[in-house]
Amino acid sequence: MSTFLLNILLALAWGALTGSFEPINLFFGFALGFLMIGVGERTLTGNQGRYLRASFLALELLFLFLVDFIRANLRMVKIVLAPKPDLKPAVVAVPLSIRSETAITLLVNMITLTPGTLSLDVSNDRKLVFVHVFYLDDVEDFRRKLKEKYERRIQDLFEP
């Protein structure tokens, strides 16, 4: 059983014990289960600290994505509202070091959800992702930022 599923079951058990399945109570049960798993994870799964570490990595990735999402929206508003938009569209092939299908799917979805970028395709050998960029100054800088900011963190999350 995955540790996350166990955490959800502990939250539901907390709801059953307290007799309340309201969201705030289930959230508290989830947080309590999170702490219990953090303390007893080595006994339960043999992975000391993996669940806690993965949880914090996921939160960090989510925070970085939300910040970039807001910045990209503001940049797109500026471009769209400009009387003469200065567009520099390009298609960039970005080499991938992640191999997990789940990790690649998360990466390409994050790219597509960010305004101004669109994942076009992943090569058959899963070594390249092709990204359409609405405004691109420097290809190498784009590749480097994508790999350092997102791919590395996704790799840490899915391929420890």
Number of helices and strands (H, E) in the chain?
6, 3
Domain boundaries, the chain: 3-45, 50-158
Distances (CA, A) of 4 to 10, 71, 88, 132, 150: 10, 31, 43, 35, 22
Q: Which pTM value belongs to this model? A: 0.78
Distances (CA, A) of 26 to 23, 81, 97, 147, 153: 5, 44, 38, 36, 29
Tens digits of residue pLDDT in 56-113: 899 999 999 999 999 999 999 998 898 988 889 999 999 999 999 999 999 999 999 9
Q: Mean of the per-residue pLDDT values for the chain?
A: 90
